Amino acid sequence: MPSQISDDIYFSGNARFKSITLNAGAVDNNAVADDAGITYDKLEHEHRIQYTQPNTTATSEAKAVYRCRGATGTIIDIHAGSIAACIGSATITIDVKKNGTTVLNSTIVLDSANAAYTAEAGDLAVTSLVAGDVLTVHATAAAGSGTLGTGLYVSISVAEDAT
């Protein structure tokens, strides 16, 4: 039967254990000293990738915005919006692709029903990443008989294991 000590114990020197089992939640952020010196390669990282166009009429383009360096990663969310909304039949269509294949169930379409500065969430079909995967943003601007929005922005949140 294991021994149990019901009092606090203070060690003024080193304590050595053959093995130790900690209860879930025993070590949290507060238990790690600010100067603990934990190197980046032992941590997970969250990145917020920003794709933006100037605050001028939106244009069509495809642009690489991120390359996964960690062994694995997860796309957390994708949002797109504009500083000024489209007017009339104009639309800005956003797709985000991983290595050339969409990660969305359907593209994000910004049109006259969208409000300025209000981002629309993408519906993720794929969330997994591995080292070397590249994310690209594909914007397609179609004025139709309206006026395209300005200041297009896309925000992608990614969690990634350390390298």
Output the domain CATH number for residue 150.
2.60.120
How confident is residue 163, by pLDDT bands cut at 50, 70 and 90? low
How many structural domains comprise the chain? 1
Cα angle 18-19-23, degrees, rounded to a multiple of 5? 150
- 23 within a domain of the structure (yes/no): no
Q: What is the pLDDT of residues 53-109, one digit of tens each?
A: 999 999 999 999 999 998 899 999 999 999 999 999 999 999 999 999 999 999 999
- 55 within a domain of the structure (yes/no): yes
- 114 within a domain of the structure (yes/no): yes
Task: Quote the domain boundaries for residue 76.
Answer: 44-161
- 102 within a domain of the structure (yes/no): yes
- 25 within a domain of the structure (yes/no): no
Question: What percentage of the chain's residues is helix, strand, coil (to nearest 5)?
Answer: 5, 45, 50
CB atoms within 10 A of CB 47: 16
- 49 within a domain of the structure (yes/no): yes
- The pair of structure tokens assigned to 125 is 């079909």
| Pairing label, strands 108-110, 128-130 | unpaired
- The pair of structure tokens assigned to 120 is 């629309």
Is residue 40 helix, strand or coil?
helix
- 131 within a domain of the structure (yes/no): yes
| Strand blocks (E) in 82-133 | 91-98, 101-102, 104-106, 108-110, 120-121, 123-124, 128-130
How confident is residue 11, by pLDDT bands cut at 50, 70 and 90? confident
Q: What is the mean pLDDT of residues 28-38?
A: 82
- Predicted confidence at residue 23, as pLDDT, reads 87
- 147 within a domain of the structure (yes/no): yes
Contact 68/130 with Cβ under 8 angstroms?
A: yes
